[in-house]
Structure 1
Amino acid sequence: MSDFNMWCIIKNIFSLKDPIEQFDHRRDNFVREMESVKIDSNKPTPDYSVSKSV
């Protein structure tokens, strides 16, 4: 990964409002989804390309 790419990523992270909070929220959602998939393994896998939150 180039230095420029790193810089862009860091800039994007710091330009977010409450970046840590956002990340935690996304991670919690992901964990919850993974647990629900584990619990109900008969259910078809969700289509992440459609349900992905922006």
Structure 2
Amino acid sequence: MTNATDFCTALLDRAHVALVAGDAFGAPGYVRLSFAASMESLVQGLDAIEKFLIGS
């Protein structure tokens, strides 16, 4: 992975978690996530991101 878009695509494909590349908001190299979900969903998503990062 060489940029935030590649990271977001890989995360969605492998961990089924959607983030938005910061490029869309003028912040290349960063990502955005939404907190508009239940606490349970947020914890599950963060756990999936952690597993993805450890496995990468």
| Greater length-normalized contact order (CA 8 Å, ≥ 6 residues apart) | 2
Q: TM-score, normalised by structure 2?
A: 0.35
Q: TM-score, normalised by structure 1?
A: 0.36
- Of structures 1 and 2, the larger Rg is shown by 1
Higher strand share: 2
